[in-house]
Amino acid sequence: MELSETFHALGEPTRLRILRLVAAARLNVSEVVSLIGVAQSSVSHHLAKLKGLELIREERLGGFTYYSLAVDASDPRWPLIRLAKDAEDTHGDLARLTELLRRREDRTSLNEKLLEPGQSWLLWASALSSLLPKLDVADFGCGTGLLTVELSRWARHVTAIDRSPQALEQAKARLAREKHQNVSFVEADLHALPAGLPKHDLVVISQSLHHVNEPAAVLAQAARLLGPGGRVVVMELMPHGEAWVKARLGHQHLGFAPELLEDALHAAGFTEVTLTATPRDGSSPFRAFLLTATRPPRARRASRPPAERRAYR
């Protein structure tokens, strides 16, 4: 009976294509949809059918549900599965799968090497912590709290702000494991922070601006949160052409020309704006830069001094 149901299930061409793909790699629904070009509702139906026959398994990972092949050579249905795997790829599904897996590897590398820069700064953060004054710090767009942990090692207090409740829960768990008690968490949109937040000495905005609609509005909120003489540190990406980061990583902007953020800082009332750009890395399409600025002792709108635009090499 089980073998007969499997024959019947795999007689549907789309279902057969899906089985071949998840037999080759663990995939989520959106990835399957992008590979075979069928509506998500239809893909979900086929996946449920295959799961009901215990041909595939599902597992949760990083907020997504992934599907993979659940049978092996010991299963009496294996010869049928093997025929499905070895059938001619007339739709080019496997070629698209190869490209998808390459992009996935690129995203993983980007997350590890760039999107969470604290990952590469852990040793420096520990070494410098004893030299830095005790400050009240706000971490704008804290995400899962990797950089928040490092800030909390030397700060008097850290306010970790993010609009995602799921990310904040992970950040709280991370800080709890580290047994750091000098961090408070605020769920808020960076464009419009809640009233009543205390003044801070430092605002850190580490690769959060490319996730927001209006970076200038976020920089204005940073100015509002800082006390007189407070400083902001912004780390961002130079303009790039990697459009896949919008769909896959939720970026709203493909990097920024540094002078645009410099102008926004001046418009928000900051002074002493300085820029540091990283050297080009021929192996990566991404290049980061760092901006620092000061909120003047008296709140006022600063006019940008006349100067020629910098050339970035």
* pLDDT, tens digit (0-9, with 9 covering 90-100), for 174-226: 999 988 889 999 999 999 999 999 999 999 999 999 999 999 999 999 999 99
Strands 136-140 and 157-162: what pairing?
Answer: parallel
pLDDT over 90, % of the chain: 41
Which single residue is written with the structure tokens 């009543």?
196
For residue 270, the SS3 value is: coil
| CA separation for the pair 167, 141 (Å, rounded) | 10
Q: Within the chain, which residue ranges are assigned CATH 3.40.50.150? A: 113-294
For residue 176, give every residue at least 6 positions away whose Cβ sits within 8 Å of its Cβ, in sequence order, or none.
Answer: none
As a whole number, mean pLDDT of residues 282-295 equals: 84
**Domain 2-112 fold:** Arc Repressor Mutant, subunit A (1.10.10)
The overall average pLDDT reported for the chain is 83
Region of poorest pLDDT, from 95-104, 176-185, 236-245? 95-104
pLDDT at 234 over 90: yes
Q: What is the structure's pLDDT at 292?
A: 95
203 has which bridge partners?
Answer: 138, 232
**Domain 113-294 fold:** Rossmann fold (3.40.50)
pLDDT, greater one: 44 or 285: 44
pLDDT tens digit sequence for 147-167: 898 899 889 999 999 999 999
Region of poorest pLDDT, from 20-24, 44-48, 51-55, 308-312? 308-312
Q: What is the structure's pLDDT at 12?
A: 81
pLDDT at 126 over 80: no
Tokens linked to 21: 């793909």
> SS3 helix, strand, coil % of the chain, rounded to 5?
45, 20, 35
Q: Provide the CB-side half-sphere exposure for 85 (13 A, CA).
A: 14
Q: Within the chain, which residue ranges are assigned CATH 1.10.10.10? A: 2-112
The 10 Å CB-count burial string (b at 16+, else e) for 142-166 is: bbbbbbbbbbbbbbebbbbbbebee
Nearest Cα to Cα of residue 199 among 156, 146, 235, 234:
156
Nearest Cα to Cα of residue 197 among 214, 205, 185, 212:
185
pLDDT at 305 over 80: no
pLDDT at 107 over 60: no
Q: What is the structure's pLDDT at 250?
A: 85
Tokens linked to 14: 């789309």
Q: What is the structure's pLDDT at 118?
A: 42
